[in-house]
Structure 1
Amino acid sequence: MAEGEANITDPSRPEHGGHRNRLRDRARKAGVSTLPDYELLELFLFRSIPQRDVKPLAKALIARFGSLPAALSAPIEDILQVSSLDNAGRALKITPEIALDLQLMFEATRRLLAEPLKRTTVLSSWSQLIAYLRVTLAYEPREQFRLIFLDKKNQLIADEIMGHGTVDHAPAYPREVMRRALELSASNVILVHNHPSGDPMPSQGDIDMTKAIIAAGKPLKITVHDHLIVGREGVASMKQIGSI
């Protein structure tokens, strides 16, 4: 261990019990919804790092990624690069275990939002679908192309990742989209991808690709309901803005 760096789980270190107890008491009395993002994250880190002052690390995570949602959804390899100094000037680093804990928090949130979509027709739960997609994709650092497969009643069959790309391109092939739709006996499809730039407006390439997939589905009687593009600034529906 490097000089000046302390073991985050060293039992010989005194727990910052006073501060932790005050924060827990405030969360119980006023509700966790009243906490600012860094304190919510700090409260979560108490369990991962029992013997240290974690406020600087919570603030460092939010500063590094720009927001709490971005920090929770960041790739593990990026989370592992975050470090800070505690109030005693000792180095405090993210370990693989802490990074996994943060991703578990994100995945639990994602599944919570996905659950209602399994019990109703997706088109009648549009706001819930948008909320789910924003959590899932808004802070993805690379483009990701997803397909939401629906049956004849527009009930969810599957939500699948069809491909990963670069920071500004994710490949999508009409033949592969239709092949998978036929395998799942899907009658309807919603195309989804994200723009890591933050701007959800479609490019000409997005429009051309969408029209090619729509054309591929027509002879197979597979309908493409929409193509949703997710960015930090919102979600764009290509159908609503008249691009398709």
Structure 2
Amino acid sequence: MGSATSQKERTEGRALLKALLGGQEKDALAAADRLIAHFGSLKAAVVAPRREIARAAGDPIVVQRLVAVRQTMIACLRESIQNRPMIDCTSALLDYLNLAMSHNSVEQARALYLDNRNVLLREEELGNGSVDECPIYVREVITRALDLGASGIILVHNHPSGDPQPSRMDIDLTRRLKAAARTMDITLVDHLIVAHGNYVSFRHSNLI
């Protein structure tokens, strides 16, 4: 959790958490200490699932404030990818997806539907699954792309294990989706797997 975090970073994280949590100084400091002790760093505390924050903090107000901070950060990162071709903003896109999905405790899949300039038309959640599986239905993804008039798709899902390497099922699904999309003149631009700040791009890995 916190072994790679320097003492200086832990101290700075503690101070920032205290400021974010507000309220009585003594209470805020105690909550900040509990969070840093449990997660090891400010970043780990902010990106943690709500359930884990609640377990560490023991205070619903602290949970609400940290979740609000994370949602604000996600909204800001999402704004940074608006009206830009997705293939030109890979770093910003990954920052957004990593914060929004990377630390989820179960697999979640999303589709980013793109126009003919590869600019985001719509982002939609395809569903949530278990710790190691999330069903994705090719027909539904393609049907929705046609409804939106999309020219391209970026498929995204997370691996709660922390290992972003694709499974055989991930590879097979990608090939089926690419083939189905091609018949409708739709491009599968990429399939991204995010996991605890790491990622794999099927396009960059020559898997598409």
Bin for the TM-score computed over the shorter chain: 0.7 to 0.9
User: More deviation in 139-148 or 58-67?
Assistant: 58-67
Which residue of the partner structure matches residue 38 of structure 2?
A: 64
Of 50, 54, 77, the match for 1:80: 54
User: Per the alignment, in what secondary structure is the counterpart of residue 105 of structure 1?
Assistant: helix
For 2:121, give the aligned amino acid: I
Structure 1 position 38 matched with structure 2 position 2: no
User: Per the alignment, in what secondary structure is the counterpart of residue 27 of structure 2?
Assistant: coil
Which residue of the partner structure matches residue 142 of structure 1?
A: 106
Which residue of the partner structure matches residue 238 of structure 1?
A: 202
Which residue of the partner structure matches residue 228 of structure 1?
A: 192
**Contact 2:35/2:45 (8 A) holds in 1:** yes
Query: How far apart in 1 are the matches of 2:40 and 2:135?
Result: 28
Q: Give the 3 Å change call, closer, same or farther, for CA 173–63 of structure 1 in structure 2.
A: farther
User: More deviation in 63-72 or 208-217?
Assistant: 63-72
Deviations 1:106-129 (A, max 9, x none): 011011111121122121111111
Which residue of the partner structure matches residue 53 of structure 1?
A: 27
Query: How far apart in 1 are the matches of 2:39 and 2:128?
Result: 21
**Contact 2:163/2:195 (8 A) holds in 1:** yes
Which residue of the partner structure matches residue 7 of structure 1?
A: none
Which residue of the partner structure matches residue 179 of structure 2?
A: 215
Q: Give the 3 Å change call, closer, same or farther, for CA 194–172 of structure 1 in structure 2.
A: same
User: Per the alignment, in what secondary structure is the counterpart of residue 43 of structure 1?
Assistant: helix
Query: How far apart in 2 are the matches of 1:70 and 1:137?
Result: 14
For 1:239, give the aligned amino acid: R
Deviations 1:144-168 (A, max 9, x none): 1011110011111111111111111
Identity across aligned pairs (percent)? Answer: 38
Higher RCO structure (Cα 8 Å, ≥6 apart): 2
For 1:112, give the aligned amino acid: C
Query: How far apart in 1 are the matches of 2:188 and 2:31?
Result: 45
Query: How far apart in 2 are the matches of 1:166 and 1:113?
Result: 26
For 2:52, give the aligned amino acid: D
For 2:15, give the aligned amino acid: E
User: Per the alignment, in what secondary structure is the counterpart of residue 206 of structure 2?
Assistant: coil
> 1:98, CA displacement in angstroms?
2.7
**Contact 1:69/1:135 (8 A) holds in 2:** no
Q: Aligned-pair RMSD on alpha carbons?
A: 2.0
* TM-score, normalization by structure 2: 0.87
> 1:171, CA displacement in angstroms?
1.0
**Contact 1:149/1:188 (8 A) holds in 2:** yes
Larger-Rg structure? 1
Gaps of 5+ in 2: 1-8
* TM-score, normalization by structure 1: 0.75
Of 80, 94, 110, the match for 1:116: 80
Deviations 1:58-94 (A, max 9, x none): 23224434543342233433322224xxxxxxxxx31
> 1:169, CA displacement in angstroms?
0.9
